Structure 1
């Protein structure tokens, strides 16, 4: 973890860059995968799964029996944990649903807006070394609440050709029955263009590595909507002299273990605290089962010491982290000045891992600086809003002169006539 002390502002853009693959090489490789699936459907999925995941799959869709028996293989405590997380996530997201409110903008002119669930959505669940069954809950629950009619889930199979039972159990808990053995860019292609087995959807959700993120951005050019560019995970911790070094070190490592392309950033107003955190990080790292992965991620990570809290906040808002932990005195007051972040965790007892699993907020968040313009996934992500208006005869009379004047000023006589003929 590189330590940078009081960097001048003109050096911030370079310091805050995320680790990325060569853009041209990445896009070329991903486009080849998309084209292959688009042209060859299921055959391409089977071939690519064998090439990238090292497993030959016979059935792309997970059979109902395999889904039904998943619960039998899980420990009781894990099933209880998934149930608790589901309840919290469901409670938080249910509160986001809005009732239809009809309003009269002027006498006789009534307007309202109604949320309609997107009919067909696809959920991508990363697999690999850490099958993220928590993401099933984060995406499946708001999709069901929103009223999406067709929800399909794609996730890479393990080396034995099966899906991790916790993923299947979480899918059942969320109300998802269409589950497919497909990962990486090929899964995004299947959901975008459709295959003989997997139906094409209107919008694709879910985090992933740089290949998955690139695939989502490329299919978006073909008119398929995506939730956001959600790539490799990242966390920024803001720590002052009151922080607990052990807690901060644990938070940094919790993100570093996601993958070698993850990034962690420590921003501190205290050189002494930064030193304590780095020492504690090394001690905890040695005991981690995934320390090799975390070590690679830490090579791309930085600890930046700034002179004051104003500089710290300016730096963080420029970085726009996916996750931001504020381990400072007056954490809530500091948080009021944060304008660019996916999700914020306040105080010494709000580890980012709680938001990843069970507090209730959604962990599918914008990365790579996109928190400047994107929000995390919510029920709103799974709906589109249709506006309505209904005018009485009196209402049309009240608004007629306004519409006629504006239409004629724009040179659109037919627009004006549509009102005049009714008068």
Structure 2
């Protein structure tokens, strides 16, 4: 492929970098981030873009002009990131570096090309954001020790909070890729079999204990072969990036169905993800070691590198008839006991093939503090301690009309690498 651009030696994560596009220090999308998404605007079909400040950078428009010559332009004309992700980590890194170079304040190539700049920079307010990738498969894990302990204490007592296998492997289940939806999609209250302790037989009716689960989603960008295991380095290299994820949960449906095989319809009705995929490379400066694992994992799950991230998270609720959001919890991704890399290594350990576009949910992210619980099940302690919000609003579980908003970001020196938001509003069951 013909090379028609100069190349910079400045790393895209350099905290001193500035874009010619003004970016507020509180913005989630500085030049050090450059998350990928899929958008449509100006009557054109959905295509690949990158968030920068208050704009979406149209990669297809740039590639057509030979401004991004790392890949064929058609990759960015796709309505999903899958074709781009399939090209592998080397292409991911080179493409991000080239985009960073084009957006630098001291590079006139795009800055001074008024015609191209006007075509390639789309205001966020004019763009519609779509599901960023085609979800090949969806697996949800249960990897926060604090969350698992809280739930265990509620249902089994303090002395039997964690099941014997929990400290030895990441626990997960296979969910439904068909109902993974992008932020802003309304979520209909699910229906299912309910059997409260006082009933002799179950009934079929709308869920009465609807909940959120604050999670991060891992986006798998490279496949693995059926029958093969993954090393730590291989698993890490397969991760394209991360998204905010809300795994909506029907607690009363789950309570009746989960024995003996685990969650099914209680989780199958909707999983919301954010529109922006923040790359693993952009999160590199924020790596931290996770909690000490005791007992030591079996050899195939052991990791040498820091695989957790110092990533702040918060959840807010907007009740019907109100305009203000009210915070429900604040926590951090760094608390996860089992890392995303360990989840991926374990997933493939039986010989399970992983595909481009697979989505791995982290499981509910809770921290050690009471205000760091990542679900209403924990916050209201299974409904026994309703949350009291301003204006006389109380919540044990979600009500029709409630909007849930999750945000996440890593704080750098004078900038933040953020994910935007993932939002969903509950509509009544039919």
TM-score (norm 1): 0.24
The structure in which a higher percent of residues are strand is: 2
The structure in which a higher percent of residues are helix is: 1
* Greater Cα radius of gyration, structure 1 or 2: 1
